[in-house]
Amino acid sequence: MDVDGPIISGRDLRVHYGDREILHGVSFDVQPKETMVILGGSGSGKSTLLRTMVGLEKPTSGAVWVGGTNLAQASAAELDEVRKKIGLSFQGGALIGSMTVGENVALPLREHTNLEASTIEVMVRIKLEQVGLIQFQDFMPSELSGGMKKRAALARAMAMDPEILFFDEPSAGLDPIVAAGIDSLILNLKQALAVTIVVVTHELASAFLIADRIIVLDGGHIVAMATTDELRRSTHPRIQQFLNRVPDSEVSDDVDHLRLYTDRI
Amino acid sequence: MPRLSVVEPLSVIGGAVERGLVYLGGVAQLLGRAFAHAFTSSLKRSLSYQRACHQAMVIGVGAVPVISFITFFIGVIMALQGAYELKRFGALHLIADTVAISITRELGPLVTAIVVIGRSGSAFAAEIGTMKVTEELDALETMALHPIGFLVTPKLLAMLVMMPCLTIWADLMGVLGGSVFGVTGADYTFGTYLSATRDALYMRDIITGLVKSIVFALVITGVGCQEGFATGAGSEEVGRSTTSAVVTSIFLVVLVDLVFTAIFYVTGGA
C-alpha cells in the first residue's frame, strides 16, 4: 500500500440497500497515518460508509480507493489482497464463537502466513498483551465481557500488522470507564504503531479525543470534513445541533426519517 | 355467475414453481462454490482438512449411537410387520429377505438422512445463521477468509464421506435388529439368518442405497447452509432458518428418494 497521496479516498460514492439510497454521493480523503473519525447519528450512513471502505458493500456508483485499489471494481483476488492489509474491529467483537480468544487472533496468521506455530503463538501473545488480555488467551468469546470482546477483536484486527485499522463504534454499549479505556488504547496504538486509523462513532467526547480529522455524516451526506479545532468553530446548524446535543423537533425528525428513503426532500 | 378464471390458479402454481426452482438454483450454486473452494481455495489446505475432519467427527461419529438404536429398532419393527403378513402365506422363512431388502434399499439411507438432518442440517443453519447475526461472517470476509470455503466446504466434504459410512452402519444395525426376531420368532439361528440375508442381497441393493445417501448429503448440506446464509437480522430469524432447514431438507430428501427409486426401477435396478 505504498501510495502517494491519500490512503483511502471516496469519490461521489453512492450506496443503496435495495431501492433505498444510503450514501448520496460522498467524497472524502484519508491521509496515511492520520486518525479519521466518522461521526454521525443513527441512520446517518456512517456504518454503511465503513462497510463500503472494507468491501463489504459494493457501491452502486462512484469509486472507493483503498491503498491504490478501487474496491468498486476490484476482483475477488484483489479484494483479498487489500483485506490482508486492513484490520476491522467490529462493534460486537464478531469473534468466532467456536474458537478461543487466542485461536481467533491466530486465525488470520495461520491462514495467510507460513509462520511456524511457535512464532504465531508468540505473535498472538504480543497482540493480546497490547490490548491487556494476555491472561484470557484460552477463554471462549462467550466468557468475555463486552469491553473485553472489543479488545480481543482489536487484537485480532492487529494480527496481520495492518496498514489501516478500522473501528466500528468502539465505545458503544460500554460503561464510561471501559469506554475511556478503549479510547486510550486507540490513542496508544496511534502513537505506537503509526498506522492509519478510521473510527466510526457517535460518541462526541471520544471522537474529539482521538481524531486528527473528523467527517460528520448526516442523512447520507458529508456535512463537514475538518480538524477537531475547525469543527468546534463551525457554525453549520446541523453540526452545532450535534455538538450541543440538541434533539430534533418532531417534524424535522420525520423529514430526516424520510430522507433515508428518498433524497428529494 | 362469474366465470372461473383459469389464469389465477395457474399463476399461483407458476409462482410457487418459480420460487422452488430459484431456491434449488441457489442451493446448487452454493454447493458448486463449495466444491470449487475445495480445489482452488486460498485457504490453507492442511487447515481445511483439519476442519473437515472435525466436522466428520461431529456429523458422523457423533451420530453413530442414535442411528444404531433407531435402525436396530426399525429392523425389529420391519421383521414384526413383515412376519404378520408372511405368516399367512407360510413364508416366514422369507423374513430375512424382507428385512434385508427394505433396510438396504430404503430405510437405511432414509432414516440415516432424517437423523442427520435433525442433528447436523439444523446445526448448519443455526451455526451459520448465528454467525451472520453476530457479524462473524463479515469478520471472516474482512480477514480475507471466504465464508463458503471456510464454513461450507469442510461440512460438504465431511457429509459426502460420512453419509455413506453411516448408511452402511445403519444397514448393518437394521439387519441385526431383524435377526432378533429371526432368531426368537422364526426358525433361524443367528448364523443362518445372516447367511439368508447375504443370499437375499445383491450388490446393487446396497449400491442404490449408497447413491441415494450421497445425494442426501448434498441436499442436507446445501439446504442447511443456504438457510443459514439467508438468515435475516435478529435472533428469532435463526430459529426460523433452522426450522426451515429441517422442513425443507426432509421434504427434498423424500422427493429425491422418490426420483431415484423411480430411476432405479425404470433402469432395471429394482
pLDDT value of position A1: 54
- B141 CB neighbours in chain A (<8 A) are 55-56, 83
pLDDT tens figures, A119-129: 999 999 999 99
Distance CA A264, CA A258 (A): 9
User: What's the pLDDT score for residue A202?
Assistant: 87
Q: Taking CB atoms and an 8 Å limit, are A108 and B131 in contact across chains?
A: no
Q: What residues contact B201, with CB distance under 8 A and at least 6 apart? A: B100, B101, B104
Say whether residue B138 is in contact with chain A using an 8 A CB cutoff.
yes
Task: Please state, in angstroms and as integers, the Cα–Cα distance from residue B193 to each residue in A77, B99, B108, B177, B227, following that order.
Answer: 60, 11, 18, 11, 44
pLDDT score of B26 more than 80: yes
Rg (CA), chain A: 19
Contacts of A96 in chain B (CB under 8 A): 131, 136, 139-140
List the one residue out of B217, B210, B110, B111 whose CA is nearest residue B159: B217
Chain B residues with CB-CB distance to A77 below 8 A: 42
Tell me the pairing of strands A213-218 and A86-89: unpaired
Collect all residues of chain A within an 8 Å Cβ-Cβ radius of residue B145: 107-108, 111
ipTM: 0.86
The pLDDT, as a whole number, for residue A42 is: 83
Q: Do the chains contact at B131 and A97, CB–CB below 8 Å?
A: yes
Judged by a CB distance cut-off of 8 A, whether residue B42 touches chain A is: yes
Sorted by sequence, the CB contacts under 8 Å of residue B160 that are 6+ apart come out as: B214, B217, B218
Q: Which residues of A touch B149 (CB under 8 A)?
A: none
Using CA coordinates, name the residue in chain A closest to B132: A94
* Per-residue pLDDT at A257: 53
**Nearest 5 degrees, angle CA A146-CA A147-CA A150?**
90
Mean local confidence (pLDDT), B3-8: 77
Q: Residue A253: is its pLDDT beyond 60?
A: no
Partner A contacted by B140 (CB < 8 A): yes
Q: Which of B43, B47, B141 sits opposite A56 (nearest CB)?
A: B141
Percent of chain B at pLDDT above 90? 79
What pLDDT sits at residue B267?
A: 87
Q: Which of A101, A111, A142, A160 to mutate to test the interface with B (most CBs of B within 10 A)?
A: A111
| Rounded mean pLDDT, B101-117 | 95
Residue B4, pLDDT score? 67
- B133 CB within 8 Å of a chain A CB: no
Q: Which residues contact B156 (CB under 8 A, 6 or more apart)?
A: B31, B34, B35, B38, B217, B218, B221
- Strand A221-227's sheet: what is its strand order? A86-89, A164-168, A196-201, A35-39, A213-218, A221-227
Residue A29's H or E segment, with its range, is strand A20-30
Closest CA of chain B from A83, distance in Å: 6
pLDDT of residue A251: 46
Overall average pLDDT of the A104-126 stretch: 93
**CA distances (Å), A15 to each of A18, A82, A116, A199, in order?**
9, 20, 42, 19
What contacts 24+ positions apart, CB below 8 Å, involve B48-54? Answer: B48/B149, B48/B153, B48/B154, B51/B150, B51/B154, B52/B153, B52/B154, B52/B157, B52/B158, B53/B158, B54/B154
Give the minimum alpha-carbon distance from B216 to chain A in angstroms, rounded to a whole number. Answer: 27
Optimal mutation site among B50, B136, B238, interface A, most CBs of chain A within 10 A: B136
* pLDDT reading at A16 higher than 70: yes
Beta-carbon separation of A90 and B135 below 8 A:
yes
Q: What is the pLDDT of residues B142-180, one digit of tens each?
A: 999 999 999 999 999 999 999 999 999 999 999 999 999
Residues B236-256, mean pLDDT to the nearest whole number = 95
pLDDT at B69 over 70: yes
Angle at B234 between CA B229 and CA B235, to 5 degrees: 90
Minimum Cα–Cα distance from A89: chain B residue = B139
pLDDT of A265 higher than 80: no
- Are B143 and A111 a contacting pair at CB < 8 A? yes
- Give residue B3's pLDDT: 62
Written as nine digits, the cell of A47 is 456504518
Task: Decide: A52 and A13 in contact? Cβ < 8 Å.
Answer: yes
Q: What's the confidence (pLDDT) of residue A263?
A: 47
Convert the pLDDT of each residue in A130-184 to its tens digit.
888 999 999 999 999 988 999 999 999 999 989 999 999 888 878 888 888 888 8
Percent of chain A with pLDDT over 70: 92
Residue B190 has pLDDT above 80, yes or no: yes
CA–CA dist B71, B118 (Å, integer): 15
Q: Which of A39-43, A118-122, B254-258 has the lowest mean pLDDT?
A: A39-43
Q: Which of A54-63, A74-83, A229-238, B95-104 has the lowest mean pLDDT?
A: A229-238
> In what helix (H) or strand (E) does residue A186 lie, and over which residues does it extend?
helix A176-193
Which of B33, B124, B135 has the most A C-beta neighbours within 10 Å, making it the best mutation to test the interface with A? B135
Query: Are A90 and B140 in contact (CB < 8 Å)?
Result: no
Quickly tell me which residue has 504503531 as its cell: A193
Q: Which is higher by pLDDT, A261 or A51?
A: A51
pLDDT at B34: 94
* Integer Cα distance of B213 and B110 in angstroms: 8
DSSP A189-220: HHHHH--EEEEEE--HHHHHHH-SEEEEEETT
Rounded Cα distance between B21 and B7, Å, is 20
Q: Which amino acid is at A221?
A: H
- At residue B153, the pLDDT reads 95
Average pLDDT of the segment spanning B191-196? 93
**Which has the closest alpha carbon to A139: A152, A129, A122, A130?**
A152
In chain A, what residues touch B144 (CB-CB under 8 Å)?
79-81, 83-84, 108, 111-112
Residue A246: predicted pLDDT: 76
The pLDDT tens digits of the residues spanning A188-228 come to 888 888 899 999 998 888 888 899 999 988 888 888 888 98
CA distance A115 to chain B (A): 12
Split at pLDDT 50, 70, 90, the class of B45 is confident
The pLDDT of residue B117 is above 60: yes
The vertex-A31 CA angle with A66 and A232, nearest 5°, equals 125
Residue scoring higher pLDDT (A41 or A35): A35
Q: What local confidence, expressed as pLDDT, does residue A264 receive?
A: 41
Within 8 A by CB and 6+ apart from A225, the residues are A28, A213, A214, A215, A216
Residue that has been written with the C-alpha cell 442440517 in this structure: B121
* B139 and A CB contact within 8 Å: yes
Would you say B204 and B118 are in contact if contact means Cβ atoms under 8 Å apart?
Answer: no
Sequence-separated (6 or more) residues with CB below 8 Å from residue B68: B169, B170, B173
> Where does the pLDDT of residue A250 fall: very low under 50, low under 70, confident under 90, or very high at 90 and above?
very low
Choose among A56, A80, A110: nearest Cβ to B144: A80
